[in-house]
A and B are shown apart, each in its own frame.
Chain A
Amino acid sequence: MSSTTAPSGLSRARRGLAPGGSGASPGRKSKLSAQTTRTFFWLLLPSVVLLVLIHGYPLIHAAVQATHDGDLLQTGNFVGGENFANVLSSPAFWKAAQFTLWFTIVGVFGSWLVGLGLALLLRTKIPAGNTFKVLLLLPWVVPIVVSSTAWNWLVATPDSLIPSIFRGLGLGTPLFLADPTLASITVMVFKVWVSFPFMMMMISAALASVDTTVYEAASMDGASKWQQFTQITLPLIARSTYISWILMTIFCVNDFPTIYLLTGGGPVSATTSLVVLAYRTVFQDFATGPGVAIAFLMTMTLVVISVILYRQIRKSSVE
Chain B
Amino acid sequence: MNVQSAATRSFSRRNFLGLTAAAASVPLLAACGGGSASQGGGGGAGGTIKFWDMPWATPAYNDSAKKIAEGFSGANNAKANYQIIQWNNFYQTFSSAIASKTGPAVSTGGGFQAFQFEQQGQIAYADKVIEKMKSNGQFDDFLPGVLDPFKSDKGYVAVPWQLDMRVFWYRKSLFEKANVALPTDWPSLLEAGKALKKVGAFGFATGAGSGNNYGNHSMIMMMVNNGGGVWSKDGELDLLNDRNVEAMEFVLELVSNGIVDPAAVSYTTDNMSAQWKDGKAGFGLFQVNVPQRVGDTSGDLLVADPITGPHGDKATIVFPNNIMMYKNTPSQEASEEFLVYYLGQLKELWKQKLMSALPVFKSITEIPEFADDPNNVKIVKDWQPIAKTFASQGSTLNANLAALDGGQALNQFSQSILTGQATDAKTALQTFQSGLESVLKK
Separation of A74 and B95 alpha carbons in the complex (Å): 10
- Residues from chain A with a CB closer than 8 A to the CB of B17 are 42-43
- Which chain A residues in 159-188 approach chain B with CB under 8 Å? 159, 175, 177-178, 180, 183
Note all chain B residues with C-beta closer than 8 A to A45. Answer: 21
A269: interface (CB < 8 Å): yes
**How many residues of chain A are within 8 Å of chain B by beta carbon?**
40
Contacts of B122 in A (CB 8 A): 73
Q: Quick check: is B427 within 8 A (CB to CB) of the other chain?
A: no
What are the residues of chain A within 8 A of B78 when measuring CB–CB? none
* Majority-rule SS of B interface residues: helix
- A82, B308: Cα distance in complex, Å: 47
* Cβ of A75 to closest chain B Cβ, rounded Å: 11
Which residues from B are CB-within-8-Å of A71? Answer: 95, 120
> Which listed residue, A72, A178, A180, touches B91 by the CB 8 Å rule?
A72
In-complex Cβ contact of B262 among A46, A175, A263, A281 (8 A): A175
Across the interface, A264 reaches (CB within 8 A) one of B117, B211, B280, B402, namely: B211
Q: Judging by beta carbons under 8 Å apart, are B271 and A50 in contact?
A: no
Distance to closest chain A CB from B35 (angstroms): 15
Contacts of A178 in B (CB 8 A): 262-266, 419
Structural contact, A46 and B209, CB atoms closer than 8 A: no
Chain A residues with CB under 8 A of B261: 158
Given the contacts A157-B274, A283-B92, A177 and B266 also touching, CB distance less than 8 Å: yes
A152 at the B interface (CB under 8 A): yes
A228 to B: closest C-beta gap in Å: 46
Which of A42, A159, A260, A286 has the most chain B CB atoms inside 10 A of its CB? A286
Interface string of B241-274 (1 = CB under 8 A from A): 0000000000000000000011111111011001
Q: Is the CB of B407 within 8 A of A261?
A: no
Q: In the assembled complex, how far is the CB of residue B155 from the closest CB belonging to chain A, in whole angstroms?
A: 20
> What are 21 residue pairs bridging A and B, where the CB atoms are less than 8 Å apart in the complex?
A46-B21, A71-B120, A72-B91, A152-B268, A156-B209, A156-B266, A156-B268, A158-B263, A159-B278, A177-B266, A263-B209, A264-B211, A265-B210, A266-B209, A267-B265, A268-B416, A284-B406, A284-B411, A285-B408, A286-B403, A286-B439
Interface residues of A (CB under 8 A from B): 39, 42-43, 45-46, 49-50, 53, 71-74, 92, 152, 156-159, 175, 177-178, 180, 183, 260-269, 280-281, 283-287
Beyond A72-B99, A267-B266, A285-B407: 19 further Cβ-contacts under 8 Å? A39-B13, A42-B20, A45-B21, A72-B96, A73-B98, A73-B122, A156-B209, A159-B278, A175-B262, A175-B263, A263-B266, A264-B411, A267-B415, A267-B418, A268-B419, A268-B421, A269-B412, A286-B439, A287-B403
